[in-house]
Amino acid sequence: LPQHVKRGDLAGVIGTVTAVAGAVGAYTYFSTSSKHCVKDYSSNGPVAKRIASVTPYFPFKGIERFYDIGGFLKDPEAFQLAIDVFVERYKDKKIDCIVGVDARGFVLGPPIALALKVPFVMLRKKGKMPNAITGKEYSKEYAGNDSLSIPRGSVKPGDRVVVIDDLVATGGTLVASVDLVKTLGGEVVECACVVELKFLNAAQKFKEHGHDDVPIWALMDESILTLDGLKSPDIDSTGYVDDGEA
């Protein structure tokens, strides 16, 4: 031991380090399978589980488990991890622009686009944006029909595009998004979401609409989203009512 460190002091330091390691040990972000430690950004992997741990579900819009990404948006570390996942995934894919779906894609898409140094394009609901091209009507994930619009000239023929949304359920919204990008001559490299509800099989809807060339990738699925927003002691849900609108 260095002469200036007493044995009692060292024991205290070791105890503190052990306690801190225990506090963060529930989430090991790194893979040591290679010579260098790298964060594990795989689907349902350690980073995904960290984000899922602060992503609650509520009964909302008549749906028993409506997943609320507002949970991880309030956690700066988790939010940053979510952005890092997509930046890492697409940084070497020669992406020309990020297209975000109204409305939560507007939260996730811009920081990803900025990190990749590519334009961000909004897909908005019909009638919300000037000089736009509106696609065909589609059935919304939960109820009713809608249409999406894309700015005229925002995607050029041959552009490699990633479509970003928070969650894919039945796949209707993403199908409409892919339709619009392809209408402008863009190539959809991938549709990317934080959450995919696997049991609804969005890939089948892609196939039915001729988009089986477009992969869907999600950071996590419902199997690791176990935070009940009404039961968690860390979430104030006093007086909660389902006031969701389709």
Task: Measure the CA–CA gap between 187 and 159, rounded to whole angstroms.
Answer: 6
Whether 173 contacts 101, CB under 8 Å: yes
For residue 52, give the amino acid letter: A
Using alpha carbons only, give the angle 209, 214, 217 rounded to the nearest 5 degrees. 120
**Given 50, 141, 190, 196, the catalytic residue:** 141
What is the number of alpha carbons within 13 Å of residue 55 lying toward its C-beta?
28
Question: What's the token pair of residue 178?
Answer: 């892919």
For residue 101, list its beta bridge partners: 123
What's phi and psi for 117, nearest 5 deg? 60, 45
Q: Note if 104 is an active site residue.
A: yes
Q: Note if 187 is an active site residue.
A: no
**Given 104, 124, 190, 196, the catalytic residue:** 104
Whether 224 contacts 27, CB under 8 Å: no
Q: Which residue has the tokens 């930046």?
A: 87
Radius of gyration of the chain (CA): 21
Question: What's the token pair of residue 235?
Answer: 């979430």
Catalytic residues: 104, 141
